[in-house]
Structure 1
């Protein structure tokens, strides 16, 4: 049970820190205000949430905080299939709680409304893409970004990699992913993150687009996991059976 609680808290922090910074601080004070962190600051916020929680509870649960990461580690023979569903449930619950907290806090400001293309820092394509990008652009972006994210995770946590440093490249990798893809999809690479805020967005179209932000990240993650295990992993790497024992 400790693992599931750790995943819930870690995902809660990821969504609260990342999406919360986008809703509360990205455009604080209006355009041109020096106190607004803009999308560069939001990108950094997402990276910092993963870095801090990976060090805080990664030794308890592995620090997934993302259903796509769990699937990618499973495909890479680093995670048992029996743990997939409880991990995903914990991650989604943590994300939903964070989405609710963001809505409650944001509603305390005069003039707050769930308007615009991406209310509550939701993800989307077409009219719900920050830059107006198409479904195909969003699909390709989310697959590739999650693929690379899992390669970073699998490589930095490989037992041949320097020990103890994995959260740093993982956090910086997620920052870079956001710097690239916020204009396209508002950056998901994480089905729980997308779901947690979409449910409170008040927009049925955004909820209807959630399928892409489950399908594409999981596909990209599974492809990365399979590639890493079949091509980059040591032949003597521990199997899932070894992990369970």
Structure 2
């Protein structure tokens, strides 16, 4: 039974909304529920792995020492662009018949993109690319540097998602902007 299509990331949901694949109501609902789920997940980790949880600052994202806020923002924008563009490409229903097997295999390229983005951005920001996960960790940990630069983990992913949606819709799919007469 298909319920949401596996929406676990507000940035991906935002990109799909911009591409007119989700309604505003459904997008807002998904983002709220994604954020609540991330808080619940962070709470479960804190409850079961208290020592490691404290040792790792609750998994809260911060811009690492030696990097600027601009570096962190750039890493989140590029990383999220890669993720959201991969989601668009892997789930594009208008692919040729020869690629008809791709939707079944969509989790593979998406998971690989997430893996590669983590390799590149963990040293810079701890890899946000999912605003809900960053929010859940910050809310449940709520001390130290959990809220320092938190805006980067919302603004960066939303900019990256918007750029990926625009690129896919306008450049790759060739869908023109609608004008009002």
TM tier, smaller: 0.7 to 0.9
2:68 is the alignment partner of 1:134: yes
TM-score by length of 2: 0.86
Match of 2:83 among 149, 152, 171: 149
Distance 2:103 2:139 in 1: 38
Return 5+ residue gaps in structure 2 as ranges. 176-181
Q: 2:157 aligns with which of 193, 214, 217?
A: 217
Equivalent residue, structure 2, for 1:28: none
Unaligned runs of 5+ in 1: 1-56, 236-245
TM-score (norm 1): 0.64
Deviation at 1:199, TM superposition (A): 1.3
For the Cα contact (< 8 Å) 2:62–2:148, is it kept in 1? no
Q: 2:140 is matched with which residue: 200, 205, 208?
A: 200
Instruction: Find the partner of 1:93 among 11, 36, 42.
Output: 36
Aligned pair count reads 169
Q: Equivalents in 1 of 2:173, 2:53: separation in Å?
A: 49
Secondary structure of the residue aligned to 2:141 is coil
Contact in 2 for aligned 1:71/1:222 (Cα 8 Å): yes
Q: Which runs of 4+ in 1 moved over 3 A?
A: none
Instruction: Give yes or no for the alignment of 1:61 onto 2:4.
Output: yes
Q: CA deviation at 1:113?
A: 7.0
Q: Secondary structure at the match of 2:147?
A: helix
CA contact (8 A) 1:114 1:202 kept: no
Q: Are the aligned partners of 1:77 and 1:229 in contact in 2 as well (CA < 8 Å)? A: no
The CA distance in 2 between the partners of 1:82 and 1:227, in whole Å, is 24
Q: What is the alpha-carbon distance in structure 2 between the residues aligned to residue 113 and residue 167 of structure 1?
A: 28
Question: Could you say which residue in structure 1 is the equivalent of 2:128?
Answer: 188
Tell me the CA shift for residue 119 of structure 1: 0.6
